[in-house]
Amino acid sequence: MFKELDFVGIFLFCAGTVLFLIGISWGGSTYPWKSAKVVSCVVVGGMTLVAFAVWESLIFKGVPLMPPRLFKKIGYVAIVIVASVGAMVYYSLTILWPTIIGTVYTTDVVKIGLQSSVVGGGILLGQCFGGFALSYIPKVKWQLVICSTIGGAFVAALSSVSPDHHAMTIAFGVLGCFFIGWVDNITFPGVTLLWEAQDIGLATGVLGSIRALGGAIAQSIYVSILDNKMADYLPKYVIPAAENAGLPASEIPTLFSAITAGNLTIVPGMTPAIEAVVGAQVTRAYISSFKIVFFATIPFSALLITMSFLVPNMEQFLHHNVAKRLQHMGKLDGEAREGQSIEKVEKEPVGAAEGNQ
């Protein structure tokens, strides 16, 4: 089995993913987007992923890492995309939410920690509802369409973040994560219903890999947007305000180093009045940057809603038929008497087995 592993496919997928993500995460923050390092990583990574697709579909003759036949089923592709875009929201908020709370609302580490549970708690609550909804509420497709629309709307509505709307920001965060969690826990169990028993592990593994890739890409994109916008807004807001408040222009470089360090008192000539003005403008820069980040979620939400329409309803798969029972189930299948072989019971009608008892 080890010899039959798709080593070339594994290498191409991992190498392409890593290079592509490094390029995205470097762009606009560590290096300019036009720099050779960023462009080469993105291009080479993308070409490597294309080579991976060609290898899997046209060249490799064994059992491929991601069999192309999986992607010929539209319902499966739709579920994979829905799950991946949902992960883009979840994983990105996991990083952004503590920053939002810590820069806009409070610097108390305990309060930041408690309020950061909005993301994990909201997702978990939605997953609980989604698990029950898959089994007991009909029309899974329409559940996904509705939950994707509402969840995407609440996440985009977080662009209204401001110091005066603390409760509303928390509420939007909980509701957005709740509906994304609902979507999440329909897709993961739902994907197992579309395939025969022997393909369940394969289909789930492919979905998990693509979903994790989507989440990593979203993290890189959103963090890159935040860093780039902060680089624009901090000088724009802080420098005029600090100089108007009385800080010498010669101390501006020291001021930005102090902002990065989180300690404005190290700046020569700093007074409580200047510190208050600078703190307010730093918060303003973060808020303006967060708005752009949440605006950037709108195209992903549109993709999420569109693909939800292509997800099949699951009622036809939610039956009690199984490929093979591992043991007998009492009156349902008959039970072997002590010392009687299972094979003999399988050959007997259910009534006969019950009569023997």
pLDDT tens, 172-182?
Answer: 999 999 999 99
pLDDT of residue 138: 81
Query: pLDDT, tens digit, for every residue of 221-267?
Result: 888 888 888 888 988 998 888 888 888 888 888 888 888 777 787 88
Confidence (pLDDT) at 323: 66
Q: Give the pLDDT of residue 154.
A: 92
pLDDT for res 168: 92
Strand partners, 27: 31
pLDDT at 83 over 60: yes
Per the prediction, the chain carries an average pLDDT of 83
Distances from the Cα of 125 to the Cα of 129, 131, 138, 186, 193, angstroms? 7, 10, 20, 13, 23
Residue 329 above 80 pLDDT?
A: no
Whether 149 shows a pLDDT value over 80: the answer reads: yes
Whether residue 183 contacts residue 56, with contact meaning beta carbons closer than 8 Å, is answered with no
The answer, yes or no, to whether residue 344 has pLDDT greater than 70, is no
Share of the chain above pLDDT 90, in %: 19
- Give residue 113's pLDDT band: very low, low, confident or very high (50, 70, 90): confident
The span from the first CA to the last CA of the chain, in angstroms, equals 45
Checking if the pLDDT of 85 tops 90, the result is no
Residues facing residue 31 across a β-bridge: 27
| Per-residue buried b or exposed e for 280-312, using 16+ beta carbons within 10 Å of the residue's own CB | ebbbbbbbbbbbbbbebbeebbebbbebbebbb
CB–CB of 214/88 below 8 Å? Answer: yes
Lowest mean pLDDT among 131-140, 303-312, 336-345: 336-345
pLDDT at 155 over 50: yes
Say what the pLDDT of residue 146 is. Answer: 93
Is the pLDDT confidence value at 57 over 60? yes
How many angstroms separate the CA atoms of 88 and 155, rounded? 12
User: What are the Cα distances from residue 341, in Å, to 32, 50, 53, 348, 354?
Assistant: 72, 54, 49, 11, 15
Say if residue 140's pLDDT is above 80.
yes
CA angle 344, 345, 350 (to 5 degrees): 145
**How large is the average pLDDT for residues 300-316?**
87
The pLDDT value recorded for residue 341 is 44
pTM, two decimal places: 0.77
